[in-house]
Amino acid sequence: MTEAAIRMIGVNKWYGEFHALRDVDLEVARGEKIVLCGPSGSGKSTLIRCVNRLETHQSGRIVVDGVELTDDLRSVEEVRREVGMVFQHFNLFPHLTVLENCMLAPVHARKLPRTEAEAVALHYLEKVRIAEQAQKYPAGLSGGQQQRVAIARALCMKPKLMLFDEPTSALDPEMVKEVLDTMEALAREGMTMMVVTHEMGFARQVADRVIFMDQGQIVEIGAPEAFFTAPRHERTKSFLQQILR
């Protein structure tokens, strides 16, 4: 039996009184690329942050690569080892070089010897086409370059799946493409990906399925072609009209 990459079954999450995720059911196959869109505050970040337990859910089940996320810290550690995450703000350490940023987690969390961690880091920096910047500090790089480093840093942990939370929305427009191209290359290599983005060109090109969320619920989910040309729900239609204007 092949286990799904992610299974969410009847997941609910509250922030205090606020019901942030409502009965979310979702199964993501291995190698599948999911794009998540929806208005601000609809729960997109909350949903993907629940997948590596940066947020905890209060009911329902979340199973990542066969491991159920529970209060047991071992399950959380196990899942986090397999899940890479890239945020809107790159969160690179400013006092470490690009190379050191990429070596940090492999050395400390995976206990890789430094020489080996360095080779891994250079390999992935090469992949995101930024190896020549390895000795620089983040501040010396453009936003697009920093985000590519952040992607390389996540890949250095050899994750089985990657979560992206609006990876291009803090970038100047001219840098969006280089980051999307990097993500597209990763997708082509077969990585399982969940991407919160409003880059609908990317969604059309790369996504196997697109999800529209509103008010903590998955309102609609479908293949990009159907999703964009024939959305079924009024809320999806009006959202798409706004962002595709």
Ligand X SMILES: Nc1ncnc2c1ncn2[C@@H]1O[C@H](COP(=O)(O)OP(=O)(O)O)[C@@H](O)[C@H]1O
Q: Which residues bind ligand X (CB under 6 A)?
A: 15, 18, 20, 38, 40-46
Nearer to Mg ion, 45 or 145 (CB): 45
Q: What is the DSSP string of the chain?
A: -PPPSEEEEEEEEEETTEEEEEEEEEEE-TT-EEEEE-STTSSHHHHHHHHTTSS--SEEEEEETTEE--S-HHHHHHHHHHEEEE-SS----TTS-HHHHHHHHHHHTS---HHHHHHHHHHHHHHTT-GGGTTS-GGGS-HHHHHHHHHHHHHTT--SEEEEESTTTTS-HHHHHHHHHHHHHHHHTT-EEEEE---HHHHHHH-SEEEEEETTEEEEEE-HHHHHHS--SHHHHHHHHHHH-
Q: Residue 93: name its binding partner from ligand X, Mg ion, none (Cβ under 5 to 8 Å by kind).
A: none
Residue 184 CB, nearest approach to Mg ion (Å) = 22
Q: Residue 18: name its binding partner from ligand X, Mg ion, none (Cβ under 5 to 8 Å by kind).
A: ligand X
How far apart CA 208 and CA 75 sit, in angstroms, is 28
Residue 196 CB, nearest approach to Mg ion (Å) = 6
Residue 44 CB, nearest approach to Mg ion (Å) = 5
With contacts defined by CB under 5 A, how many residues of the chain interact with Mg ion?
1
45 is a contact residue toward Mg ion (CB under 5 A): yes
Decide: 10 and 23 in contact? Cβ < 8 Å. yes
End-to-end CA distance of the chain: 44
Residue 125 CB, nearest approach to ligand X (Å) = 29
Residue 109 CB, nearest approach to ligand X (Å) = 25
Q: Residue 107: name its binding partner from Mg ion, ligand X, none (Cβ under 5 to 8 Å by kind).
A: none
**Nearest position to Mg ion, beta carbon:** 45
Nearer to ligand X, 55 or 184 (CB): 55
Nearer to ligand X, 155 or 211 (CB): 211
Directed axis angle between helix 143-155 and helix 173-188, to 10°? 20
Question: Judged by CB under 5 A, which stretch of 24-32, 44-52, 65-73, 132-140 contacts Mg ion?
Answer: 44-52
Residue 113 CB, nearest approach to ligand X (Å) = 38
Nearer to Mg ion, 130 or 150 (CB): 150
147 is a contact residue toward Mg ion (CB under 5 A): no
Question: Judged by CB under 5 A, which stretch of 42-50, 59-67, 140-148, 154-162 contacts Mg ion?
Answer: 42-50
Provide the binding-site residues for Mg ion, judged by CB under 5 A.
45
